[in-house]
Structure 1
Amino acid sequence: MSFEDTYYSFLFLWAFVALIVFIVLFYKDAPYGRHLKPEASFTLPSRAGWIIMESPAVFGILIFLYMFYQTIGITETFLCCIWLLHYIHRTFIWPLRAKLRGKQMGVGVMSMALLFNVVNITLQCIWIFILGEYTDQWLISPIFIVGIIIFLLGMLINIKSDDILMNLRKSGGNGYHVPKGFFFKYVSNPNYFGEIIEWFGWSLLSMSPAGFVFFIWTSANLIPRARSNNEWSKSNIPDYPKNRKSIIPFIY
C-alpha cells in the first residue's frame, strides 16, 4: 500500500472514530467546565491545560513550515497563515483573556484533546505540504474565495460570542448568567456554531480531505456538547429562554 493510500485509509478510520465520539457524547457529557464533577481526581488549572492541549496546532504547522519552506509556494504559505490566525488566538489569546482563575480541567480531557490536535495537525500538514497540489491561481479561485469568506465569518461569530460571554462573567459576578444579543438571540452556543462554520470554510479553501474530516470532527464534538450546555442552562439558570436552540439557529 502506498503512502497516499495509507493516508486516505487513516482518514476514513479517523472519520469513523468521530462518528463514535458523536454518539457517545449524546449519552455522556464531556467532563469539562460546568460538567466537571467536583470529585474529579486528576485536574490541572484550566488556563494551563488549554494552552498545552492546543499548542500542537501552532507548533506542528511551524515545524512543517520549517521543514518544507524551500519547496512550497505562496498558496501553501497562505493556508498556514489562515490556520495560524485561528490557532494563535485559540491557543494563547483566548485562555489569557478568559476568566479561568480557579477553574480546573480534567487531565483526561486535556490528554485526549492533545492527542487529537497532534493527529489533526499531522493530517492537515501532510496534505498541505506533501499530497496536495496547489498553484498560485488557487488563491483567486471561486472555491477559495467562498471558503475564506465562510472561514472569516465563522471566526467572527466565534470570537464575538466568546467576548459576550467574557464580559457577562466580568460584569455579572460569580455563577452563570443569561447571555443576550448577537447570535445568543437564537442559540445557546453561538461560539460553537461559529467554529463549525470556520472549519467548513477551511475544508473549502484548502480543498482538502483532511480539512473535511476536521469539519466532521468539529461537528461531532460540538453539536452534542452544545445540546448538553443548552439543557443544563435551561435547568439551572433562572429565566433562561426556553425557546433557544442549542447550536444551529432555528433548526437545532
Structure 2
Amino acid sequence: MVMSVLSSFIFPPPSSLVVSGLTVISFLILVTSFLSEIRGKHLNYSKFWNANPSAQKQIKLPSKAGMLLLYTPAFLAGLASFWIFPPQSLRSIILQSAVTFHFFKRVFEVLFIHKYSGGMTLESAIPITLSYFLSAATMTYAQHLTNGLPEPPMNLLYPGIVVFVIAIIGNFYHHYLLSNLRGEGEKEYKIPKGGLFGLVICPHYLFEITVFYGIFFISQTLYAFSFAIGTNLYLLGRSYSTRKWYVSKFEDFPKSVKAVIPFVF
C-alpha cells in the first residue's frame, strides 16, 4: 500500500547500493539528531555551542569559519555536479541548480549577512559538514540515475520550483531580520521581531524545511524524499530546543509564539 502510494510521485528506487545505503543512513542520522535535540543533547553551534559540559574540552572554531566549513563543500559538490553529471533533462538541470543555489546562498549569508557570537566545536562541525556534502552529492547523483526512467504519474516539478523559490526568499528574509537585531559590536541575544517571528521563534527553520521539500518536489527521488523528512524532524527538534532556550533566558518571551509551526508547535 505504502509503496503503491510512493510510486505515484517518486521515481523507482535506484539500483545503486551506494545511494540506497546513503538514503537509509542519512535518514537515521537525522532522526537520531532529532531525538538528541529533544533530550537536550545538542550539536554545539549557535546558542548551544557550549550547552554540553564536554564542549569546553573540544576544539572550538570561530562561528564564521565553522559556518563556512558547513556549507562550502556542499556548494562545491553542487557546482561540480554540472561537470560530473552533465544535465540530460530539464528536471536534472533545475535540481542541480536548486541544490547549488541553496548552498551558495548559505555561503553568501555566512560572509555578508550573519552576525556572530559564541563559536562552534569541531566535533559538531564535522558531521554537519559531511551530512550537507553527502546530501548535495547524493541528491544530484540520484537524479542522474533517473535519466531514461519513466516519469512518476504525478509530476511535482513545477510546484516544486514555486515552493523552492518561496522558501529560499523566506529563509533569506528571516536570516536578514536576525542579523539586524544586533548593532555593530553587539553580541547579546534578543527576542527576534518582524516577519513570522511574531508566530514562531524559528521561521528560518520553517523555510529551510520547506526548501528541502521544494527540492524533493523538483527531484521526486527516494533520497530527496527521505532527506526532506529527516531534515524536517531534526529542525523540529532544534526549534523545540531553541524555544525552550528563549523561554529560559527572557521572562517576557511571548508564550503564544511557537517553535516552528504557527499555532501548532
Report the TM-score when normalising by structure 2.
Answer: 0.83
* Residue aligning to 1:230: 243
Alpha-carbon displacement from aligned partner over 1:19-78 (angstroms, at most 9, x marks no partner): 222212211122212212273431111111111221121111222221232x62343222
Q: 1-side partners of 2:256 and 2:102: how far apart?
A: 31
**Mapped contact 1:192–1:222 kept (Cα < 8 A):** yes
- The CA deviation at 1:184 is 0.6
Extract unaligned runs of 5+ from structure 1.
none
- The CA deviation at 1:120 is 1.2
Pick aligned residue for 1:129 from 112, 120, 144: 144
* Residue aligning to 1:55: 72
* Residue aligning to 2:203: 190
* Residue aligning to 1:160: 173
* Residue aligning to 1:35: 48
* Residue aligning to 1:21: 33
Aligned length: 246
Extract unaligned runs of 5+ from structure 2.
1-13
Q: 2-side partners of 1:168 and 1:20: how far apart?
A: 32
Q: 2-side partners of 1:14 and 1:76: how far apart?
A: 22
Q: 2-side partners of 1:183 and 1:170: how far apart?
A: 21
1:82/1:13 CA distance change after superposition, 3 Å: closer
* Residue aligning to 2:88: 72
RMSD between superposed Cα atoms in Å: 2.5
1:208/1:215 CA distance change after superposition, 3 Å: same
**2:133 counterpart letter in structure 1:** V
**Mapped contact 1:132–1:208 kept (Cα < 8 A):** no
1:241/1:13 CA distance change after superposition, 3 Å: same
Q: Which runs of 4+ in 1 moved over 4 A?
A: 132-135
* Residue aligning to 2:231: 218
Report the TM-score when normalising by structure 1.
Answer: 0.87
Alignment of 1:101-140 (within 5 A): 103-133=118-148
Pick aligned residue for 1:46 from 25, 38, 63: 63
User: Larger RCO: Structure 1 or Structure 2 (Cα < 8 Å, ≥ 6 residues apart)?
Assistant: 2
* Residue aligning to 2:10: none
**Mapped contact 2:201–2:260 kept (Cα < 8 A):** yes
- The CA deviation at 1:170 is 2.5
Q: 2-side partners of 1:164 and 1:184: how far apart?
A: 9
Pick aligned residue for 1:239 from 244, 247, 252: 252
Pick aligned residue for 1:91 from 107, 114, 128: 107
Identity of aligned residues (%): 23
Q: Quick check: 1:250 aligned with 2:263?
A: yes
- The CA deviation at 1:180 is 1.5
- Three-state SS of the structure 2 residue aligned to 1:168 is coil
1:105/1:185 CA distance change after superposition, 3 Å: same
Q: 2-side partners of 1:160 and 1:170: how far apart?
A: 18
1:132/1:14 CA distance change after superposition, 3 Å: farther
* Residue aligning to 2:8: none
Q: Quick check: 1:201 aligned with 2:214?
A: yes
Q: 2-side partners of 1:171 and 1:179: how far apart?
A: 17
- Three-state SS of the structure 2 residue aligned to 1:248 is coil
- The CA deviation at 1:12 is 2.6
| Segment of structure 1 superposing worse, 15-24 or 225-234 | 15-24
